[in-house]
Structure 1
Amino acid sequence: MNRYAITVRRWWAVPAALAVLVLICSAIGTSTVPVPSLTRGAGGAQLAYFTPVLVVIAVMYCLERQLHEAETTAVLPVRLLDQGAVVLTALLAHGAGLLVGMDIARNVTLLLGIALLVRRMANEATAAGAGLMFLILNIILGRAIGPNGHSTHAWWAIVLYPSGNMPAWLLAVALFALALPLAFSRTSVSR
């Protein structure tokens, strides 16, 4: 099963994506990139907001790689291996969050939860795209100017919340916990 996880599923891509995430976040710091806003918010977003997509794409890449014949005859259900690998990814993202910011770790967990829910109804490519689309919608539509004239975010733009915001953490963890068993159930479309 270890060889299957390394050679077929290629789960080694996820720690590599996390390492790239840490390197990119360390290199760019709080650099911003101009992003259009439809709600008259600030004109730029931190480049680090986009880095969690790297991890989501890596996870969906690994989940997409399958050998149906080998998986149907395996002693240990491969979906349990995949489920464990996704949980380990979220834990490793929180370890990386200690280096780059816990808001990045929260966003990895949130986007993974969204991608896993979409994966249940569609496929892995659509799931990775849904995570990216959610991120872009939060950045474009979720920024606003507060009553004091400073840049703020909309209440629903969870990706933009600071790392210490407890409701954002609870929502991200709840979505991930809900999506995890649903994405790997036997009735899932992608399985």
Structure 2
Amino acid sequence: MHSFFAADRGLLAIVSLALALCANPAAADWRAELPQARLVGEAEFRWYGFDLYQARLWSAAPTPSLDTPFALELVYRRTIPRHALVETSLEEIQRVSATPLGAQRLDAWAAHMRRAFVDVKPGTRITGLNVPGKGARFYVDGRQSHEVNDPLFARHFFAIWLDPRTREPEMRQRLLGLDPTRNKSSTP
């Protein structure tokens, strides 16, 4: 009789943990925020012949833009430390920006990215969710890591990939679904 109650308590603990995770917004995956999202486009990012990550853009909008909700998912192929992700992101934000950005703003954005990002290794998935008019939410391997309540940050951050001035215009084309060889029927 004792082992039945012990097993019953173990099952109750597992069910309780599962319910707690579902009720915790920080544990929710980005898909709960964009339930109608479909894969718009995807591309590999290579730097000097090395595969760094695969990028996928998910949206319910037929033509996603910086003014529509979307999720940009990066699945890393290499080990990259967090500080390198932050520094490279800051450099690209400044390069793509049409106007100079102040040091105080960049410092604040760097602090947000340090909270949102992790040291990545092959297979690590970081997804940024664009929330127009509010900011961005970041997820690491499906769990929310940080929310940035700054629409200007979100616009500048996602411009790294989606602005016409991006360093990788072919990647931008593929992410926006402008590659005629891509299949548009995928779901998350």
TM-score (norm 2): 0.26
Instruction: Say which one has the larger Rg.
Output: 2
- The structure carrying a bigger strand percent of its residues is 2
TM-score (norm 1): 0.26
